Structure 1
């Protein structure tokens, strides 16, 4: 029997992209989808766009303390067997939920899975292909590399069983950039993820993306998050070296 799936979208002032995000969820050929959008009282045209789909999703529009708070509100409301979050500038590829639901139905003991994702620009055109292939390579290796040396997990392409929240709680709301990385590391303490080779989603990078012009703060928070879960000196040294290399590349290309 196919599991039900809950998708949570945190939203704030994403009128440029939110319609594609919503339609990518509603267009999924899957029988049991609960779609929850948590909007922090957007001041642009985001809310009118969302309300146009009010009969096909659950909308909560109220003030929140940030993205992580909004995601947690959705996760706490969710009733699906499987849950995920899809940010309001990303989108599902066709057939994603069918593939995910089928996998969990065939693997009842698997707690979470992650797949590949396309990296796209504001127009939806593929970019950063070397980065994508590098992360795919890491995910084919050991968790010490794709979760220890760096976070090579595609956030929008990651799904887990809702009942793990009874054991792990919810996302850490003090984290602004790495709430996903922290969550993967907590899930990893229970079980390594199943790795799917298929592209499930598109992850969008644009001028307003959080990591685009705040990468130094992001890498500082990344190392603090990593340090809570990995104590061995070789992997700590490797993680710091990797962050320094990526920061140098950012400085060069910006």
Structure 2
């Protein structure tokens, strides 16, 4: 049985998927299997995947979204850990070896999160180096609530049995399904964040799901509703930690939407978060955001 099952969901990204797979096959650690879940592609994805033969395990489904595709990969995984990689992103050669080092040195934590570098052209990653290993360890994911690192939920390796126990990803077509998963894994023992080296090249382009404003809006609402319903683990004792992370994300999304002319959606999310901000208030945001929305609206009318 391999240490890692690399799960790659894909939909109509044949040209980018080839680069992604090349970065997986360039890994210095070979104790892994590669699972590609074709989410109903209609381009040349099938022909591309056929060229790899038994180097990869291919699964196909009708188009149902990334969450459903990843869940199929989780069900079929044979490894102790599932390492997720989107079909437009790239790994430097040391990614899986770095995750293996964490697992060996940190007592096999449930979740390992890497550090990402954004790029548009692969050449922008040419200066990456396997610099000295630095990692921060926490009792569980919620215990990292006050840490200031950038959370890259698309750059994680997770114990396979834990993924199956919490039910995998939401089937909703939202852009926050990975953060929802992390919150549901919130009290599973052991969370490690790799500060160094960079373990993911995160591609930024017009088709990136992270730039879908409506999905970002719906995803943030979904996370808040899950918290309201008590769907996340930890109960009242861990509520402050959950809200610290949830509301940090909400503030980021509202500013992002405001910058792109989505004032109504930004204000709606602000209002939805008010009840939660009573627990972990951020007064500069609470008092300052409505005037920022007003100023943005006035500028757009000129």
TM over 0.5: yes
CA contact (8 A) 1:90 1:156 kept: no
Partner of 2:144: 143
Alignment partner of 1:169 is 2:179: no
Q: Which of 219, 244, 250 is the matching residue for 2:254?
A: 244
Mapping for residues 94-113 of structure 1, pairs under 5 Å: 94-113=93-112
| Of 72-81 and 56-65, the range deviating more from structure 2 | 56-65
TM-score normalized by structure 1? 0.80
Highest Rg: 1 or 2?
A: 2
1:18 matched to 2:27? The reply is no
Q: Which residue of 2 aligns with 1:136?
A: none
| CA gap 1:82/1:19 in 2 versus in 1, 3 angstroms | same
- Structure 1 runs, 4 residues or longer, greater than 6 Å off: none
Q: What residue is the counterpart of 1:201 in the other structure? A: 200
Q: SS of the residue aligned with 1:73?
A: helix
Q: What's the secondary structure of 2:107's corresponding residue?
A: coil
TM-score (ref. length: structure 2): 0.68
Contact 2:153 2:182 in 1 (8 A): no
* Count of aligned pairs between the two proteins: 234
Q: Secondary structure at the match of 1:207?
A: coil
Change (3 A) 1:165 1:241: closer
Q: 3-state DSSP class of the match of 2:53?
A: coil
Change (3 A) 1:21 1:224: same
Q: 1 CA distance for matches of 2:17 and 2:10?
A: 8
Q: Is the 8 Å Cα contact of residues 3 and 105 (structure 1) preserved in structure 2?
A: no
CA contact (8 A) 1:21 1:88 kept: yes
- Which residue in 1 is equivalent to 2:70? 71
User: What's the counterpart of residue 134 of structure 1?
Assistant: none
Displacement after TM superposition at 1:103 (Å)? 1.5
Secondary structure at the counterpart of residue 219 of structure 1: helix
Q: Runs of 5+ in structure 1 lacking a partner? A: 128-138
| Higher relative contact order (CA closer than 8 Å, sequence separation 6+) | 1
CA distance in 1, matches of 2:249, 2:5: 33
Q: What are the residue-to-residue correspondences of 1:92-131 with 2, within 5 Å?
A: 92-121=91-120, 123-124=121-122, 126=124
Distance apart, 1:102 and its partner CA: 2.0
Residues 39/109 of structure 1: CA separation in 2 closer, same or farther (3 Å cut): closer
Indicate how the Cα distance of structure 1 residues 83 and 216 shifts in structure 2: closer, same or farther if over 3 A, else same: same
Q: CA deviation at 1:203?
A: 0.9
Q: Which stretch shifts more, 71-80 or 100-109?
A: 100-109
Alignment partner of 1:181 out of 179, 182, 186 = 179
Alpha-carbon contact 1:4-1:82 (below 8 Å) kept = yes
Distance in 2 (alpha carbons) for counterparts of 1:206 and 1:239: 21
Q: Distance in 2 between the 1:109 and 1:29 partners? A: 20
Tell me, in whole angstroms, the C-alpha distance in 1 between the residues paired with 2:99 and 2:113: 9
Alignment correspondent of 2:215: 217
Deviations 1:195-248 (A, max 9, x none): 111210111111111232x22431332243145237659847665444322222
Distance 1:50 1:106, change over 3 A: same
* Aligned residues: CA RMSD: 3.0
1:131 is matched with none
User: Where does residue 53 of structure 2 map in the other structure?
Assistant: 54
Counterpart of 2:26 in structure 1 is 27
